């Protein structure tokens, strides 16, 4: 037994494979796994698609090359002057905000103010809507009573 481990393993594999070939059933030979990738690539429709893919790829590469070659079409951004930033300033205080025009007063805006717990603003909007839409006066009257109670409770 002067064989090395590698030689011994190779001889065992050879004997196994030779014995398998002699005793193999015909049914087992039919169950040989198929190389699905090569079968898929051999279909004629795939060859047509690959030609179309190549055409699209070359067209895309051509478009990219022309875009990269035309460097002068890139937009250039100018820095903003200091005058504009000074005039904008930080006028975000609530007292400096001008009151909204009545055209912007909607029930949706009133709901937003309710969710923000700004009941006085919501009450102002509902009162404006009450005056502008007399056909909904009963609905708005209920809303006004409700909002007045909320404002009164929050003032405590």
* Polymer length in residues for the chain: 156
Sign of CA dihedral 136, 150, 93, 80: negative
Domains: count for the chain: 2
* Cα distance between residue 117 and residue 150, in whole Å: 9
Per-residue pLDDT of the chain (156 residues; tens, 9 = 90+): 567 888 888 888 888 777 765 555 555 555 555 677 776 666 666 455 677 788 888 888 888 888 888 766 666 677 776 665 545 555 555 555 555 566 677 888 889 999 998 999 999 999 988 888 888 888 888 989 999 998 899 887
* Cα distance between residue 82 and residue 126, in whole Å: 42
Among residues 121, 128, 109, 129, which one has the least CA distance to residue 147?
121
Same domain? 110 vs 149: yes
Domain membership flag for residue 122: yes
Q: What is the pLDDT of residues 4-46, one digit of tens each?
A: 888 888 888 888 777 765 555 555 555 555 677 776 666 666 4
- Per-residue pLDDT, 86: 47
Point out the domain boundary residue: 52, 71, 90.
71
Domain residues for the domain of 55 are 34-71
* Residue 82 CB coordination number (10 Å): 8
* Predicted structure pTM score: 0.36
């Amino acid at each position: 037994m002067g064989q090395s481990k590698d030689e011994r393993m190779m001889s065992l594999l050879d004997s196994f494979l030779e014995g398998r070939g002699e005793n193999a059933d015909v049914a087992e030979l039919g169950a040989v796994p198929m190389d699905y990738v090569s079968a898929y690539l051999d279909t004629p429709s795939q060859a047509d698609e690959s030609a179309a893919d190549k055409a699209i790829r070359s067209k895309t590469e051509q478009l990219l090359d022309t875009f990269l070659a035309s460097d002068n079409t890139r937009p250039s951004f100018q820095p903003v002057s200091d005058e504009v930033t000074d005039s904008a300033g930080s006028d975000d205080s609530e007292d400096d905000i001008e009151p909204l025009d009545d055209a912007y007063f909607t029930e949706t805006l009133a709901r937003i103010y309710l969710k923000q717990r700004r009941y006085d603003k919501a009450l102002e909007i509902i009162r404006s809507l009450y005056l502008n839409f007399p056909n909904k006066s009963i609905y708005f009257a209920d809303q006004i009573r409700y909002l007045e109670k909320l404002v009164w409770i929050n003032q405590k």
